[in-house]
Structure 1
Amino acid sequence: MKKVIFISSTGGHLTELMQLVPMFEKVDYTLITENTSSNKSLKDTYGDKFTTLAYGTKQHLLPYLFIFSYNILKSFFLFMKIRPDYIITTGTHTAVPLCKIAHIFKKKVIYIETFANSKTPTKAGQMIYPIADLFIVQWESMLAVYPNAVYGGWIF
């Protein structure tokens, strides 16, 4: 059975990622998001198949640099522990390090650009686009931004 990490930041990106829950029963999955009070119930639902990274916001730059550095190290640890075949993500900054690590180890990276952007790229999308094995956009108009992407329609 393929091992898959599903990862995203909290909020709308996680809401989009959770639309993929039907895929969980077909793979050996791990769900990763940020550690926030709104995500605590996911531990009850997914048990040891759920883990978190530290929550940080770029609005507080100095603490964010330390949090992001910590998340890079934890992402590497999780990658080595889980040894996934695929990373599937809806973004954003929380997922970038894990996608880069997976790419270095020649594992598949599948990125789904957010539904929230119909004309402009996200920063995470721009960083992952060059390394993604499959890059999916939810708006046909985004094919102009990411010409090698696949239009997948809305995830909702």
Structure 2
Amino acid sequence: MLRDPKAHGNRSLDLDVPQSRGARPKVLAVSSGGGHWVQMMRIKPAFENCDVTFVTVHESYREQVPDRKFYLVNDANRWTKFGLLKAVCRLSWIVWHERPDVVISTGAAPGYLALRLGRQFNARTIWLDSIANAETLSMSGDRIGRYADLWLTQWPHLARPNGPHYRGSVL
């Protein structure tokens, strides 16, 4: 069960996670660098009863999760088409190899790609849009909504009835 780290007790994140491959759900946590990674680290307590694998764009982040599997993927964006293709190939291999029950991302492009690929392997998906996007959703966040099982924003005024939903901020 994924827990809400801001909640008291064992409040789940409203995501029924199948545990077909063992007692602990396998979570693939994917983020870009900088604030996206900081936010992923802030929600890490929600994964305490899960088998978590982290994917990000900076080798230096490995030391923050020394007890977990860790993969690197190249950073890419809409202006680096070859970089996006390279990231898709790498993330495809990671998702195929890890077979996660849940894919979660705090953004940006690598997370978007991972959620889309995770859906192909029947993983449940969670998108937590960056707190930096205070006026509008991020481009990735805006586009991922229909593919995410749980789509969250960190700003109440950006929440909509069909998503994204607001459950608080992580910073």
TM-score, length basis structure 1: 0.85
**Partner residue of 2:106?**
90
Report the CA distance between 1:150 and its aligned residue: 2.0
Runs of 4+ in 1 over 3 A off after TM superposition: none
Give 2:69's match in structure 1, choosing from 25, 34, 49. 49
Kindly, what percent of the aligned residue pairs are identical?
25
> Which residue in 2 is equivalent to 1:151?
166
Q: Following TM superposition, by how much is the alpha carbon of 1:93 offset from its aligned partner in structure 2, in angstroms?
A: 0.7
Question: Amino acid of the residue matched to residue 16 of structure 1?
Answer: Q
Query: 2:33 aligned with 1:20, yes or no?
Result: no
Stretches of structure 2 that go unaligned for 5 or more consecutive residues are: 1-23
Q: Deviations over 1:57-114 (max 9, x none)?
A: 55xx4xx222211110110100011000001111111111111111122211101111
Q: Deviations over 1:2-30 (max 9, x none)?
A: 00011110011111111022134310000
**Quick one: which amino acid aligns to residue 31 of structure 1?**
F
List aligned pairs for 1:46-125, cutoff 5 A. 46=66, 49-56=69-76, 61=79, 64-125=80-141
8 A contact 1:110–1:135 mirrored in 2? yes
Q: Tell me the amino acid that sits aligned with residue 36 of structure 2.
A: H
Distance in 1, Cα, partners of 2:81 & 2:138: 19
Separation in 2 of the partners of 1:19 and 1:115?
A: 12
Gaps of 5+ in 1: none
Alpha-carbon RMSD across the aligned residues, in angstroms, is 1.9
Count residues in correspondence: 148
Q: Could you tell me the TM-score, scaled by structure 2's length?
A: 0.78
Query: Which structure's residues are more often helix, by fraction?
Result: 1
CA 1:45/1:99 → structure 2, altered by over 3 Å: closer, same or farther?
Answer: closer
